[in-house]
Amino acid sequence: MVQARVTGSAANCPACGVASHRVHSRYVRRLAEAAIGGRPTVPKLRVQRFRCSTTECPRATFTEQVEGLTFR
HEC string of 22-39? CEEEEEEEECCCEEECCE
Least Å distance between CB 46 and Zn ion?
22
Residues 8-27 interacting with Zn ion (rule: CB under 5 A):
13, 15-16
* Helix (H/G/I), strand (E/B), else coil: 50: strand
Least Å distance between CB 14 and Zn ion?
8
Number of residues that bind Zn ion (CB under 5 A): 7
- Secondary structure letter of residue 9 according to DSSP: S
In the complex, the residues that contact Zn ion under the rule CB under 5 A are 13, 15-16, 52, 54, 57, 59
